[in-house]
Amino acid sequence: MSNDVKKTYTEKELASMSQAELAALGTEMDGVTVAFRKDRWPVENDPNEKRAANGVAIWLAISILAALGFLATYLFWPWHYRALGDEGHVFHTLYTPMLGLTAGIAILALGMGVNLYVKGFIPEEISIQRRHDGPSDEVDRRTVTALLNDAWTTSTLGRRTAIKGLLGGAGLLFGLVVVAPLGGAIKNPWRAHELDYNGDGTLWTSGWTLQEKGVKLYLARDIGTIAEKYEGESGTHFTTAGLSRLVRVRPEDLSSGAMETVYPLAEEDVNDGDRYNPESHAYENHMHSIHGPRNAVMLIRLRNSDAERVIEREGQESFHYGDYYAYSKICTHIGCPTSLYEAQTNRILCPCHQSQFDALQHGKPIFGPAARALPQLPITIDEEGYLIAEGNFIEPLGPAFWERKS
Ligand code: FES
């Protein structure tokens, strides 16, 4: 690689060379020609050098302050939702912009500091090197190390304690800006909160678990209502007063061979039929039910001839109501919605990886990667003729997790 340059040196010869000599030898052996090299500050104690160092220090200090600002915002800023007009609404709306602003300034100032340092203190140099093939000799490795050391020395960073500290601090804090938000993603999967339409926060529960607490749960369909516009004194607003997103389902609402996606609707959130109240604000709870991670259920009305061929699973013989069967919509493979019901074959299809489940055999998987049956919800009708849950699911919903036994 290094042409006619001497490349065999004894350990003693190498040890006797200074760093500068080794660096020079390295460039020679690598076929590198230093065409131009100039120190940025050849005159000692040049006042301009101090000014340049101050410029770098200012940017690094800004980066540190912005990174600290980001961490303070992330940890202490009031981020909980506040509705328009509520106290603290402005702070709530500024949370995300503040995170973006402080993180942006931190990285920008760090970049500026590094950039100014490189431009202001690393010697200007133009080197030309020929390429070579194959592994490097010991002498090459030693000289490369010396070159790197030389780069460190000539960068003068080693003796610029303040800038070195600021650079390290800015780098460290910027690293925290990147890493700290990941802490928000760490959750205790066993920590339960109060049970609601989202379950209690653990994988064992869903909105249907409310039934175990004595809450009457209707099987309700999503009719897609959206907030209504009205003109108020202060301009155009939207309201959900009196609106219903979920309405109760009666058996006669589905034709034979039909499938409907239903969600749990607690009795106190009913706002349809003879219980309609134009002042009700149940809409928000309806949305919570629809968004509950394991709440969606497929209500299937089998054709009469098919209903006669159903093979019930042991312990679930009474879970259906007539020819109505309710299966969890959450695929037992990895949790996609098993949205497709094919009435001719009574197969339920998950579009993600093509698992198929047999609606005539308690949702048993018959094709694809899913290994467990779709959990079945016990259903019946109440005294008014609306479909309701007669109990909770008797097994966890969705894909497997560590503590799950079946
Ligand atoms: S998630 Fe349903 S088949 Fe994979």
Q: What is the DSSP string of 67-92?
A: HHHHHHHHHHS--S---TTSTTHHHH
What is the structure's pLDDT at 61?
A: 96
Quick one: pLDDT at residue 406? 67
Same domain, 142 and 251: no
142 lies in the same domain as 233: no
Mutate to test the pocket of ligand 1, among 334, 348, 349, 374 (most ligand atoms within 8 A of CB): 334
| Atom of ligand 1 minimally distant from the CA of 370 | 3
Same domain, 153 and 211: no
The rounded distance, in Å, linking the Cα atoms of 163 and 53 is 8
C-beta separation of 327 from 298 below 8 A: yes
- For residues 94-112, one letter each, b for 16 or more C-beta atoms within 10 angstroms of the residue's C-beta and e for the rest, the string is eeeebbeebbebbbebbeb
Ligand 1 contact, 400 CB (< 6 A): no
**Nearest atom (ligand 1) to Cα of 354:** 3
For residues 251 and 321, the answer to whether their CB atoms sit within 8 Å is: yes
Per-residue pLDDT of the chain (406 residues; tens, 9 = 90+): 445 677 788 888 888 988 878 888 888 877 788 888 888 888 888 899 999 999 999 999 999 999 999 999 999 998 888 877 788 888 889 999 999 999 999 999 999 999 999 999 988 888 887 776 777 778 878 888 898 898 888 888 888 888 989 999 999 998 988 888 888 788 888 889 999 999 998 999 999 999 999 999 999 999 999 988 888 777 888 889 999 999 999 999 999 999 999 999 999 999 999 999 999 999 999 999 999 999 999 999 999 999 999 999 999 999 999 999 999 999 999 999 998 999 999 999 999 999 999 999 999 999 999 999 999 999 999 999 999 999 999 999 999 888 887 6
Q: At what angle do helices 89-121 and 47-76 cross, to 10 degrees?
A: 150
Select from 294, 331, 348 the residue to mutate for testing ligand 1; criterion: most ligand atoms less than 8 Å from CB: 331
User: What is the predicted pLDDT for the residue at 2?
Assistant: 44
- Pocket of ligand 1 contains residue 349 by CB under 6 Å: no
Atom of ligand 1 nearest to the CA of 350: 2
- The rounded Å distance from CA 225 to ligand 1 centre is 30
- End-to-end, the C-alpha distance of the chain in Å comes to 65
pLDDT value of position 195:
95
With beta carbons less than 8 A apart as the criterion, state whether 228 and 406 touch: no
Query: How many A from CA of 334 to the centre of ligand 1?
Result: 5
Whether ligand 1 lies within 6 angstroms of the CB of 336 is answered as yes
139 and 229 inside one domain? no
pTM: 0.63
* Residue 353, domain member (yes or no): yes
Which secondary structure element, helix H or strand E, spans residue 274, and what is its range? Answer: none
Q: Give backbone dihedrals phi and psi of 303, rounded to 5 degrees, phi first.
A: -70, 150
Strand pairing category for 32-38 and 364-367: unpaired
**207 phi, psi to nearest 5 deg:** -65, -30
Angle, vertex CA 53, rays to CA 49 and CA 56, nearest 5: 145
Could you tell me the CA-to-CA distances from 192 to 121, 203, 205, 238 in Å, in that order?
57, 10, 10, 34
199 is a domain residue: no
370 lines ligand 1 (CB under 6 A): yes
Q: Which domain covers residue 54, as residue numbers?
A: 11-185
Q: Does 28 share its domain with 146? A: yes
- Write the DSSP symbol of residue 385: S
> 54 and 158 in one domain?
yes
**175 and 236, same structural domain?**
no
254 and 289: one domain? Answer: yes
Closest CA to 110 of 25, 162, 167: 167
Q: Closest ligand 1 atom to the C-alpha of 368?
A: 3
- Gap between the Cα atoms of 20 and 190, Å rounded: 62
> Has residue 167 been placed in a domain?
yes
What residues are paired with 327 via a beta bridge? 298, 376
Instruction: Compute, in angstroms, the gap from residue 367 CA to the centroid of ligand 1.
Output: 11
How far apart are the CA of 205 and the centre of ligand 1, in A? Answer: 20
Q: Are the CB atoms for 313 and 321 separated by under 8 Å? A: no
Number of domains in the chain: 2
Q: How far is CA 342 from the centre of its chain?
A: 34
- Going from the Cα of 397 to the center of ligand 1, the distance in angstroms, rounded, reads 13
